[in-house]
Amino acid sequence: MRRVLFGSLALLFLTGVAVWGQVQVPTVQPLPLPGGDVISPYGLFNQFVPGVGSIYDGLNADPHGITNFRGVTAMGYTLGLATDNSGKTYQVITDVRVYQGDYVGAQPTFPAGGSTSAKAHGTFVEI
């Protein structure tokens, strides 16, 4: 399973839970991109895969994972190697995306937490 982990490091990171360290819980919740790749049997994954070739969504596919966003974006696919605590080596594939800027997200307004739109600034990473 660890091979799977490192064979898809970026995908593992996508499941990250914001709890410790430098991670913050946004007061204005960013909204996922309404579109994305439809992956069977999962369904709609709110993210495109920019790039050129049959496995990508095209050069100008939106690299962002958040909608209502204006700011800086950086992303890239990588290859690498990792070594674990027993000396075993693994191939690493990553897709890490960084966003910094202004966004319009959801803030709790109504008694049960019902949302309204709010503007905020933030830095986000998808790993």
Query: CB of 32: closest distance to other proteins in angstroms?
Result: 10
Residue placing its CB nearer to other proteins in the complex, 18 or 109: 18
Query: Residue type at 106?
Result: A
Give the list of residues 6+ apart from residue 89 with CB closer than 8 angstroms, or none: 81, 82, 83
Query: CB of 113: closest distance to other proteins in angstroms?
Result: 19
Query: CB of 111: closest distance to other proteins in angstroms?
Result: 25
Residue placing its CB nearer to other proteins in the complex, 31 or 107: 31
Residue placing its CB nearer to other proteins in the complex, 17 or 112: 17
Residue 93 near residue 10 (C-beta atoms within 8 A): yes
Q: What distance in Å separates the CA atoms of residue 105 and residue 14, rounded to the nearest whole number? A: 20
